[in-house]
Structure 1
Amino acid sequence: MATLLAPEFEIPTPLQQLTNLADARIGAKVTTCSDDFFAEAQRMLQFDAPIFVEGKFDDHGKWMDGWETRRKRHSGYDWAIVQLGVAGKIKALDIDTTFFSGNYPASASVEGCYAPNENLDDAEWHQILPNSILGPSQHHVFEVSMNQIFTHLRLNIFPDGGIARFRVYGEVSVQIQDQNQTLDLLALENGGRVIAYSDAHFGHPRNLINPGRGVNMGDGWETARRRAPGFDWCILALGQAGHIEKIEIDTAHFKGNYPAEVSIQAIYIEDATDPQLIPQSMFWPFLLDAQPMQMDHIHNFVNEVLGHEKISHIRVNMIPDGGISRIRLWGKVNP
């Protein structure tokens, strides 16, 4: 059986700097749906790009990598309710019909509500996306301009069909109840995000803040082999500003291509634009001086963390190049 990868798609730069709130890796799930006869609705929340496997069938028909309902033979439409992995403000939606070429919905709409107690019966639903035309095997990116915080979305497809992936790009809204709790302030689920990077030839730095340990070498930040002086770097924004007590640098699966050293610079800054941070980052104070790395290893640094006030942004320097799987900044929120 032949396996085809989805065609390359470059997400517009503004979306790269937002969090996919409907990412199954941070707990997003489909709580209920009208129908998923051909392909279960939960599949459309997977992080990986959809695939098409030639000749693969199951008991219900052709296997498809996404959510697919049966052909509707009466009035009405299909829908799925998605509980976001984290609550947040929505800035854009990507309704992806990749590989659904003759079975895509004619159109779709999206509603949302804020129900932190998960009681949807009493929730007030708001229209996020009006009924909008869809096409075959393509990304449909819709910008959203709303200030409300949402916990649940309802994706409506008219009248039936299949969605490969449903991505909800936004800003994480995390309410920290215990200011004395030690958290990974850089974690994706706590609002961490990528601002800029020197190179991402083999793996994107957004993987550095993913949940759990890397599953393979592709699930990390890996640059091309450097053939010029200098080193690689990336700039990350913490989801929550605070004081760092412990740093973890994980080189899981990087055995012949881990960096020789890694250092971290840091700053606290308010109301800065992302572009202005890039040139300034070269002069930020060090949070962690250059430390030697080992292959396939979790490096823990406590005493090596340099004295600092609270921080909001870091610059990771990978000397001279190579790959890192994860970075964790354990500390307490300092509002």
Structure 2
Amino acid sequence: MTESQQPAAFTELVNLAARGLGAGVVDANDELFAEKENLIVAAAAEFRPHTFGHKGQIMDGWETRRRRGAGADEPHPTDDDHDWAVVRLGAAGVVRGVIVDTAHFTGNYPETASVEAASVPGHPSPAELAAAEWTEIVPRTALKGDTAHEFAVDSEQRFTHVRLNIWPDGGVARLRVHGEVVADPRDLDGLTFDLAAQEHGGVATGASDRYFSSPHNLNSLGRAAVMGEGWETRRRRNKDNDWVELNLAGTGEVLAIELDTTHFVANCPGWASVSGRDAASGEWFDLLPRTRLQPDTRHRFRVAPQRPVDGARLNVFPDGGVARLRLTGRLTEAGRAALALRWFNLVPVEEAVQALTDAGLTRAEAASVTGARPFADAASAQSAVAALAPADTPDGAETSRRRAAIWRLLGV
């Protein structure tokens, strides 16, 4: 394991604004020259000179019309005039960094830009998003043409949407929003699901090799459409093997494993094994022993329930490519509670209050519990409930109601 490559920068985290993860550009004030949807295209922006359409040079990005002032006496836009586009993240989470890429925009890039973020649960309309409370995560900053600008973000909050603002107008090729997925525990209650999936919070944390493609592809949504959408290593010239380690969405029991080598024909690994990381001891043990793989094949294996795991490691022998790794299973009670506590600590105040109210607390009780955040563990959450005003019923019914409500939401 001497070749471990741990993520050293936010660019190695999951792109929450990836179309393949379910992101979408839901609104923009203008897109006359080039469509807003180009902002989240997976591939790098391209430029073909002297390729003109009815609105001018075709640009691979989002480009707005040139702004003008109010009239002949004021032909220039004001300092506040700007354009914007709103992106629904494919998975809600904590944003660690943003890339605003002006690739191929030279005489038509914005002078400055900023990025805001909001948490709006459900499936909000553009009007509802416009009325939301937005938090600035990247302050207004000067841009350069044909440049990928990287901005680190320091905000411990869960967001569902981001808004790119540009002054006064112009074009941006791509927007990347890297961070950590934070799933809503209510979406996973009672379900078996892919514990390794990006959309639920699974993430590749290390790999022996990522020469041809990223290990983040292993737990992406859907099936790989081409070989480049999987994880592939260079040809190994020693007697070791390649591997990827992942943190799971939460502590759980693995019930089935899928190893998909679709599109990998002459470069499929000969064999593979999958290990689980014991959630209590941190020790590794076999979930799937070394097993022969076939090229261009979805391999499915049932797994007898074993010790709860919070991580997994895919080993391939000796090298090659795998399109997808799926670990179907279910959260343990402790895993569900840990996921719920993290989510509850990171959502905005009003969202947290509403969630507790929906679970059965009064609004005053919900506000009191929310005010005690962040909770380090289950005990601190239980203490916040115990600290509520004394129940007014001698039979303990109110205490039982409160405990039931906090259990429904946080599992503690």
Q: Does residue 238 of the first structure (1) align with residue 248 of the second (2)?
A: yes
Q: Going by fraction, where is strand more abundant, 1 or 2?
A: 1
Give the whole-Å Cα distance in 2 for the aligned partners of 1:164 and 1:241: 39
Equivalent positions of 1:302-321 (< 5 A) are: 302=302, 305=303, 307-321=305-319
In structure 2, the residue matched to 1:27 is 22
User: Which whole-Å deviations, capped at 9, do the CAs of 1:106-132 have from their partners, x for residues lacking one?
Assistant: 110112211113232542222212111
Instruction: Say if 1:29 and 1:83, in contact at 8 Å, map to a contact too.
Output: yes
Q: Does residue 129 of the first structure (1) align with residue 138 of the second (2)?
A: yes
Q: Judging changes above 3 Å, is the alpha-carbon distance between structure 1 residues 122 and 34 closer, same or farther for their aligned structure 2 residues?
A: closer
Q: Judging changes above 3 Å, is the alpha-carbon distance between structure 1 residues 264 and 306 closer, same or farther for their aligned structure 2 residues?
A: farther
Give the whole-Å Cα distance in 2 for the aligned partners of 1:54 and 1:192: 41
Instruction: Say if 2:251 and 2:279, in contact at 8 Å, map to a contact too.
Output: no
Give the whole-Å Cα distance in 2 for the aligned partners of 1:169 and 1:120: 21
In structure 2, the residue matched to 1:47 is 42
Instruction: Say if 1:16 and 1:194, in contact at 8 Å, map to a contact too.
Output: no
In structure 2, the residue matched to 1:164 is 173
Q: Does residue 86 of the first structure (1) align with residue 91 of the second (2)?
A: yes
1:228 counterpart (238, 250, 265): 238
Match of 2:227, SS?
A: coil
2:116 counterpart (106, 111, 118): 111
Give the whole-Å Cα distance in 2 for the aligned partners of 1:19 and 1:252: 22
Give the whole-Å Cα distance in 2 for the aligned partners of 1:307 and 1:124: 44
Equivalent positions of 1:212-227 (< 5 A) are: 212-227=222-237
Give the whole-Å Cα distance in 2 for the aligned partners of 1:185 and 1:62: 45
Q: CA deviation at 1:49?
A: 1.5
Give the whole-Å Cα distance in 1 for the aligned partners of 2:208 and 2:60: 33
2:64 counterpart (61, 69, 80): 69
In structure 2, the residue matched to 1:4 is none
Give the whole-Å Cα distance in 1 for the aligned partners of 2:320 and 2:262: 12
Q: CA deviation at 1:16?
A: 4.2
Match of 1:51, SS?
A: coil
Give the whole-Å Cα distance in 2 for the aligned partners of 1:269 and 1:53: 52
Q: CA deviation at 1:287?
A: 1.1
Match of 2:212, SS?
A: coil
Higher Rg: 2
Alignment identity in percent? Answer: 42
Give TM-score scaled by structure 1 length.
0.88
User: Which whole-Å deviations, capped at 9, do the CAs of 1:196-223 have from their partners, x for residues lacking one?
Assistant: 1111222221111111111111111111
Give the whole-Å Cα distance in 2 for the aligned partners of 1:173 and 1:201: 29
In structure 2, the residue matched to 1:300 is 300
Instruction: Say if 2:109 and 2:170, in contact at 8 Å, map to a contact too.
Output: yes
Instruction: Say if 1:287 and 1:307, in contact at 8 Å, map to a contact too.
Output: no
List gaps (5 residues or longer) in structure 1: 1-11, 273-279
Deviates more, 1:315-324 or 1:199-208: 199-208
How many residues align? The count is 312
Q: Which amino acid aligns with 2:267?
A: N
Give the whole-Å Cα distance in 1 for the aligned partners of 2:276 and 2:149: 37
Q: Does residue 195 of the first structure (1) align with residue 213 of the second (2)?
A: no
Instruction: Give the ranges of 4+ consecutive aligned residues of structure 1 lying more than 3 Å apart after TM superposition.
Output: none
In structure 2, the residue matched to 1:3 is none
Deviates more, 1:19-28 or 1:34-43: 19-28
Q: CA deviation at 1:332?
A: 0.9
Instruction: Say if 1:94 and 1:141, in contact at 8 Å, map to a contact too.
Output: yes
Give the whole-Å Cα distance in 1 for the aligned partners of 2:295 and 2:59: 38
User: Which whole-Å deviations, capped at 9, do the CAs of 1:154-192 have from their partners, x for residues lacking one?
Assistant: 111001111111111111110132432111111111112
Query: Larger relative CO (CA 8 A, sep 6+): 1 or 2?
Result: 1
Q: Does residue 56 of the first structure (1) align with residue 51 of the second (2)?
A: yes
Q: CA deviation at 1:140?
A: 0.9
Q: CA deviation at 1:252?
A: 0.6
Q: Which amino acid aligns with 1:315?
A: R
List gaps (5 residues or longer) in structure 2: 1-6, 70-76, 336-412
Q: Does residue 254 of the first structure (1) align with residue 249 of the second (2)?
A: no
Give the whole-Å Cα distance in 1 for the aligned partners of 2:26 and 2:290: 46
Instruction: Say if 2:101 and 2:146, in contact at 8 Å, map to a contact too.
Output: yes
Match of 1:211, SS?
A: coil
Give the whole-Å Cα distance in 1 for the aligned partners of 2:145 and 2:40: 19
In structure 2, the residue matched to 1:287 is 287
Give the whole-Å Cα distance in 2 for the aligned partners of 1:162 and 1:22: 18
What value does the CA root-mean-square deviation take over the aligned residues? 1.8
Instruction: Say if 1:113 and 1:125, in contact at 8 Å, map to a contact too.
Output: yes
Give the whole-Å Cα distance in 2 for the aligned partners of 1:73 and 1:21: 34
Give TM-score scaled by structure 2 length.
0.72
Match of 1:256, SS?
A: coil
Deviates more, 1:12-21 or 1:179-188: 12-21
Match of 2:38, SS?
A: helix
Give the whole-Å Cα distance in 2 for the aligned partners of 1:60 and 1:86: 34
